[in-house]
Amino acid sequence: MADRDSIFALSTPPGTGAIAVLRLSGPGVGDALEELLSGPLPPPRRFSQRALRAPDGELLDRGVVVWLPAEAGSYTGEDMAELQVHGGLAVVRSLLSLLASLPAFRPADPGEFTRRAFEAGRLDLVAAEAVADLVAAETARQRRQALAGTEALTGRLAAWEGALVAVSARLEAAIDFPDEDLPADLLARVRAETAGLRDALLAASYEVALGERLRQGFEIALVGAPNAGKSSLLNALARREAAIVHETAGTTRDVVEVRLDLAGFAVTLLDTAGLRAAAAVDPVEQEGMRRARARAAGADLVVVLFDSEILPVMDHETLDLVDDRSLAVLSKCDLEAGGAMAPGGLRALRVSAKTGEGLEALQQRLAERVTDLCSGQGDALFNRERHRAALAACAEALERALAAREPALMAEDLRVARSALGRLVGRIDVERLLDSVFREFCIGK
């Protein structure tokens, strides 16, 4: 739109660096670029080394300019440009200040470039969300999940949308043109295809919880008695001093969180307050213990630590947390006094945060357990509550369509299903349904 603001933003992280990239988008980009370059625009979609100047002719920098007119297929669907300049603060500030002074130019809002791409039909909502996920990806698995959102997920949605349009078209044809030469088993085929779509959508909606965990990361809580070695183990796994370690019992009062890449999974390790009889501690430590139990209850996996130095004695506060969701660990194995096996036949890994013994085996076991949480749950391409709600609404509408006794009622439920799927991708295309009716059945020829 000609009266729309043009926007600009620094696309590289703020601060000093070798290179900084500025992006511009909007109807005024061509004029702004000509002013910056003090000359004609460079060839479209070509890297050009040019001098960038202030309105008074002062040289601001020499950098690489890319001109991306809308007709050449830009990301936002409107005129764009990228400036690749030296990453010094003075250069970046001068260019940002100059752009802000131009008529109808303003700094971009968060995500506004991608929003304009969506509004221009360059990508749908799930693809736009995948762009955000790709930028935020911390691990290889998150990167693959985000890329699948732009490719495999978009393809799957397009296939469902096409199938739903085709089913609706056949049913509408049977209702509106009963005298046409249509297949005798048309309604039976419509019901069979509707049932198949319903099952596929329900299966996808069940995958959302796992998809969210892959995108947001898994939580692993470290629990145990005071001085069992939780903070030392956290620091060893994080390879830095993230938590305070001291011989004084009860040093950790609150939950300390550390983000890790564990075999491609994003994982948050939780160091929690030591557990012991509540009567023996002050109110602050009691609150720390309450938070420790609460975070352990909500974690995907619990590492239960037992102090090898005091074996065969074992604290029951910690022992009560051992279950199918936990992994038992004998800490301080370099100081163990009671042997490698815990009493009662408890199977546990032996580790030493001080010497590093057993740390690699522990990381491997944790990775295996997290992988087990993901097995047998599909591709998990959908990863937001919005996705689950839209998929469930579409499946529910298809279920009602299958239960409808009249074709007209079934057609209405199919329309509701198309609307739900349209909300998922951010569009509802009625014209596709009309085109399908006329193309497939050649009505009115």
Give the domain-ending residue among 76, 95, 122.
Answer: 122
Is residue 219 located within the same domain as residue 368?
yes
Name the amino acid, one letter, at 235.
N
pLDDT grade, residue 213 (50/70/90)?
confident
Structural domain boundaries enclosing 97: 6-122
Q: Is residue 310 part of a domain?
A: yes
Q: Is residue 1 part of a domain?
A: no
CA 237 to chain centre: 24
Average pLDDT over residues 366-382: 77
Determine the pLDDT at residue 172: 81
Evaluate if residue 25 carries a pLDDT over 70: yes
55-65 pLDDT, tens digit each: 999 999 999 99
Query: Both tokens of residue 354?
Result: 């001080």
Query: Both tokens of residue 405?
Result: 């006794």
Evaluate if residue 433 carries a pLDDT over 50: no
Determine the pLDDT at residue 5: 92
* Beta-bridge partner residues of 9: 23
Q: Is residue 409 part of a domain?
A: yes
Helix (H) or strand (E) holding 19: strand 17-25
Evaluate if residue 430 carries a pLDDT over 50: no
Evaluate if residue 201 carries a pLDDT over 90: yes
| 67 Cβ contact list (under 8 Å, min separation 6) | 30, 33, 41, 42, 43, 44, 45, 46, 48, 81
Contacts 24+ apart (CB under 8 A), 349-353: 350/308, 351/233, 353/229, 353/232, 353/233, 353/235, 353/236
Determine the pLDDT at residue 248: 58
Is residue 152 located within the same domain as residue 233?
no
Evaluate if residue 444 carries a pLDDT over 50: no
DSSP one-letter string for 72-105: GT-SSSS-EEEEEEEE-HHHHHHHHHHHHHSTTE
220-242 pLDDT, tens digit each: 999 888 878 888 888 888 887 76
Residue 93 belongs to domain with CATH number: 3.30.1360.120
Q: Is residue 425 part of a domain?
A: yes
Give the domain-ending residue among 65, 91, 122.
Answer: 122
Is residue 179 located within the same domain as residue 196?
yes
What is the rounded radius of gyration, in angstroms, for the C-alpha atoms of the chain?
Answer: 30
Give the domain-ending residue among 77, 96, 122.
Answer: 122
Q: Is residue 131 part of a domain?
A: no
CA atoms in the 13 A half-sphere facing the CB of 225: 20
Q: Is residue 317 part of a domain?
A: yes
Q: Is residue 130 part of a domain?
A: no
CB atoms within 10 A of CB 230: 30
3-class DSSP state for residue 271? strand
pLDDT grade, residue 36 (50/70/90)?
very high
307-352 pLDDT, tens digit each: 877 665 666 777 777 888 888 888 888 765 444 455 555 677 888 8
∠ Cα 87 56 26 (to 5°): 60
Buried b (16+ CB within 10 A) or exposed e, 21-48: bbbbbbbbbbbbbeebbeeebbeeeeee
Determine the pLDDT at residue 89: 94
Q: Do the strands 80-87 and 59-68 form a parallel or antiparallel pair, or are they unpaired?
A: antiparallel
173-190 pLDDT, tens digit each: 777 666 565 566 778 888
Is residue 248 located within the same domain as residue 320?
yes
Determine the pLDDT at residue 441: 41
Average pLDDT over residues 70-81: 91
Residue 281 belongs to domain with CATH number: 3.40.50.300
Helix (H) or strand (E) holding 170: helix 152-176
Measuring CA to CA, which residue among 248, 232, 230 is closest to residue 240? 232
User: What is the Cα–Cα distance from 430 to 419, expressed in whole angstroms?
Assistant: 10
Look over the chain and give the mean of its residue pLDDT values, rounded to a whole number.
Answer: 82
Q: Is residue 420 part of a domain?
A: yes
Average pLDDT over residues 117-123: 86
Is residue 407 located within the same domain as residue 306?
no
385-417 pLDDT, tens digit each: 888 988 999 999 999 999 988 888 998 999 999
User: What is the Cα–Cα distance from 111 to 104, expressed in whole angstroms?
Assistant: 19
Evaluate if residue 90 carries a pLDDT over 90: yes
Name the amino acid, one letter, at 244.
I
**How many domains is the chain partitioned into structurally?**
3
Determine the pLDDT at residue 386: 86
Determine the pLDDT at residue 251: 56
| 47 Cβ contact list (under 8 Å, min separation 6) | 64, 65, 66
Is residue 91 located within the same domain as residue 110?
yes
Is residue 48 located within the same domain as residue 150?
no
Is residue 363 located within the same domain as residue 396?
no
* Beta-bridge partner residues of 258: 269
Determine the pLDDT at residue 145: 83
Is residue 220 located within the same domain as residue 329?
yes
Name the amino acid, one letter, at 362.
L
Residue 396 belongs to domain with CATH number: 1.20.120.430
Share of the chain above pLDDT 70, in %: 84
Is residue 103 located within the same domain as residue 219?
no
Average pLDDT over residues 36-52: 92
Whether the Cβ atoms of residue 216 and residue 385 lie closer than 8 Å to each other = no
CA distances from 206 to 43, 91, 374, 392 (A): 49, 50, 12, 9
User: What is the Cα–Cα distance from 34 to 4, expressed in whole angstroms?
Assistant: 19
Determine the pLDDT at residue 253: 63
Name the amino acid, one letter, at 406.
E
244-267 pLDDT, tens digit each: 665 655 555 678 888 888 888 888
Is residue 85 located within the same domain as residue 47?
yes
Whether the Cβ atoms of residue 374 and residue 209 lie closer than 8 Å to each other = no
Is residue 230 located within the same domain as residue 312?
yes
Contacts 24+ apart (CB under 8 A), 359-368: 359/236, 359/237, 362/237, 362/329, 363/237, 363/262, 363/263, 364/263, 365/327, 366/220, 366/262, 366/267, 366/301, 366/303, 366/327, 367/262, 367/263, 367/265
